Amino acid sequence: MKTFYETTQQISGKLKLTNAKIRDLDGKSLTFIKDQLKHWAERFNHILKRPPPTESADIQASENILDINCESPSKTEIRKAISSLKCGKSAVPDNKAAEAHKVGISILVDMLSGFLRKMEKERIPSDWKEGYVVKLPKKADLNLRKNYRGLMLLSVPGKVLYHIILDRMKGAVEDILRDNQAKFHHGRSCVNQIATLQITIEQSLEWNSLIYINL
């Protein structure tokens, strides 16, 4: 189905090609794949592997202690996390697709339950902390590297643990977030806030009325 979809998009001209020839910092076109891979490696190393700050941040300890469950994940939490995995995504870096986890969810829940309890006394597997960086094009000149953004592909079993931790934190953080905070509130997004602000400004210009924005 995925191959059929990509073929249809390519025939209709809607498929974005990510293998466009790019130019280096000197404006020279990189025609060989080897040179392009080297260029992207240098690009993302520059962005992601920045040196640590010379001065450490003075962050004061919070007076509010969040009530977050730190016990071993329950089977219900593991099942919920596996069910929330999105299908049709890349299976790298460990070649374990989300579909495979959902098909054998009953067996996997029992396996992960024992594994996560044992992991409390040990370390998180190294491959759960690794990822593949891929480039995604934007709507602009694809010959310029600035018109690409990076996306990290993480281990699917590691995402199960990340979903559990995130769900536990959401309930505790929800009560202390500001009302005008959108991104981390459930059911809200920055896109809705931007759209609301844009509509308000357009109506203000249309009716030639004053607008007050509390920043």
pLDDT tens column, 26-57? 888 888 888 888 888 888 888 888 888 888 88
Residue 15 is predicted with a pLDDT of: 54
- What phi and psi values does residue 105 have, to the nearest 5 degrees? -65, -35
What's the pLDDT tens digit per position in 108-161? 899 999 888 888 777 888 888 888 888 888 877 888 888 888 888 888 888 999
The arithmetic mean of pLDDT across residues 53-80, rounded, is 87
pLDDT in tens, 160-171: 999 999 899 887
pLDDT reading at 214 higher than 80: no
Distances in Å between the Cα of 88 and the Cα atoms of 85, 95, 101, 157, 186 are: 10, 13, 12, 15, 24
> Is residue 8's pLDDT more than 60?
yes
Q: What pLDDT is attached to residue 78? A: 94
Tell me if residue 136 falls in helix, strand or coil.
strand
- Any idea which of 5-14, 50-59, 99-108, 199-208 has the lowest mean pLDDT? 5-14
213 vs 60: CA distance, rounded Å = 31
CB 155, CB 93: distance < 8 Å: yes
| pLDDT of amino acid 10 | 64
